Chains A and B, each alone.
Chain A
């Protein structure tokens, strides 16, 4: 009898350790999603600011100016569900400005253009890292232990944004 109680206790102990370990693991991943999103958001905001700067400081024709400024403001103010669309259209306007010198007149100052290229690199890295952490959380939360014991608590399931390479 004592043997039975002892082994039951050991099993209970191991189980509770495992649950606490899993909860810590998930908590850490949630934390990672928060910080990686925070960073991605920051670099995207900075890009929008650069876009507005470019619009003001370059001698663009009015149509291009409007396109750029409106897409930049849209990206800045988009709600979370519209965010990736808004960012994609900003990328498109910026690309138009950089590559298509035929339909767009005006020149961007080299300093701003350099800043934009550097920011694009940063955004690429930020998207990659954020997507990775979102996937990690989502994969973990589909596992049985996490569902049965509701280890995620009330934390919302992180969204998979449509940030693909086409954002850039």
Chain B
């Protein structure tokens, strides 16, 4: 494949941590390592700290409430003119827009551009009433996308429900090589050790489900230790924990990539008690790549990813008693844990960038057939055609 000039648009603030941002960053880096040229256009709060040479700032993001969470996005007339400028300066072979169905830069880019465009849909949600109002406006914009990618079966279904359009499912990628480091951190080891990663003060991440299951587990495993990593307000959570258990729980804050690999090596079971709102579950693929046994809630995204228990154990969602039971069973069963670790590790190769990016490049190849370049869509196509016939 000849080297491509790819323009990628990130809808969310680049410096806010999030799955979509990480996905774009790693995909961009991987494509660059293959010899392609990539320019990522994203809202950036702190333009001074911009270290990636391929990142183009669209301005400061604003916080808006969207879909039950606060999204840091950017739109409006200024952003719109910057998008147009970026597209016309970029001379791109194709645009790759992430999450183009929310009010954001991606939608503006889709509106402004003409030519080969790929859209990746990350989110999954139940059908919303609002779609009846915004659907007729969004539909003509989204149909400009030459190809659609959904990161999971859930995301594909969401797209189908909302816009009656099909998408190719290509999972999120991870750099599996990051997780083969086998250094354990002795100061993190308990007997046994459980791990949790996520914004723990967000209820849908389900830390409370795990905390409620701990007393029962601690009765059988008195030397139990629980590592909680991720950003959030510790004090509000600590108050809810039974005093006798407080010493067993360690808050680690946000982990660097290296620390994350060591975190996975140091724990016996990774617990993902998320209660919903997940579309994919990238963290589970990371646990799988580092050969860590998984105990996850049976929400659709996780159940799909773990193939109903083949690559990691499942418990009934929001059911602390079941979580406690399943944890005790799995902690006592070394053989099963070993089997899950091996099966998960095998499966994690499917999510390595080498595999995932190959599939994305297949889609790129497909949308490039027309041999058009990306242009600004202000000129009316029909009119152009008539003119060029003269």
Listed in ascending order, the chain A residues whose CB lies under 8 Å from chain B are 20-21, 23-25, 27-29, 31-32, 34-36, 38-39, 42, 121-122, 124-126, 128-129, 131-132, 135-136, 139
A24 and B168: CB pair below 8 A?
no
Contact A126 B366 (CB under 8 A): yes
Could you list which residues of chain B lie within 8 angstroms of chain A, going by C-beta atoms? 114, 140, 143-144, 146-148, 164-168, 359, 362-363, 365-367, 369-370, 380-382, 385
Q: Is A24 a contact of B380 with CB atoms below 8 Å? A: yes
Q: A39 to B369: give the CA distance in the assembly, Å.
A: 6
The residue in chain B whose Cβ has the minimal distance to the Cβ of A129 is B147
Q: In the complex, what residues of A have CB within 8 A of residue B385's CB? A: 27
Q: A24-B381, A121-B359, A132-B148 are in contact. Are A31 and B370 (CB under 8 A)?
A: yes
Asked whether, in the complex, the Cβ of A27 is within 8 Å of the Cβ of B143, the reply is: no
A36 vs B359: C-alpha distance in the bound complex, in angstroms?
Answer: 17
Q: Once the chains bind, are A121 and B143 in contact (CB under 8 Å)?
A: no
Q: Are A136 and B369 in contact (CB under 8 A)?
A: no
- Check if B362 sits within 8 Å of A122, measured CB to CB: yes
Cα(A25)–Cα(B382), bound, Å: 10
CA distance A77 to B124 in the complex (A): 43
User: Could you tell me the distance in whole angstroms from the C-beta of A155 to the nearest C-beta in chain B?
Assistant: 12
**Quick one: which of B144, B146, B164, B382 contacts A35, CB cutoff 8 A?**
B146
CA distance A164 to B363 in the complex (A): 18
Q: Which residues of B contact A125 (CB under 8 A)?
A: 147, 168, 359, 362-363, 366
Q: Cα distance A32–B372 when bound, in Å?
A: 12
Instruction: Sort A-B residue pairs by CB-CB distance and give the 6 closest, nearest first.
Output: A35-B370, A132-B166, A39-B369, A35-B369, A129-B147, A39-B366
> From residue B162, how far is it (CB to closest CB) to chain A in Å?
14
> What separation, in Å, do the CA atoms of A35 and B365 have in the docked complex?
12
Q: In the complex, which of the residues A129, A131, A135 contacts B366, with contact meaning CB atoms closer than 8 Å?
A: A129
Shortest distance from the beta carbon of B383 to any chain A beta carbon, whole Å: 8
Q: Which residue of A lies closest to B371 (CB)?
A: A35
Other A-B pairs, 19, CB within 8 Å; known A35-B367, A121-B362: A25-B140, A27-B381, A27-B382, A27-B385, A28-B381, A31-B381, A34-B370, A35-B369, A35-B370, A38-B369, A39-B366, A125-B168, A125-B359, A128-B167, A128-B168, A129-B366, A129-B367, A136-B165, A139-B164
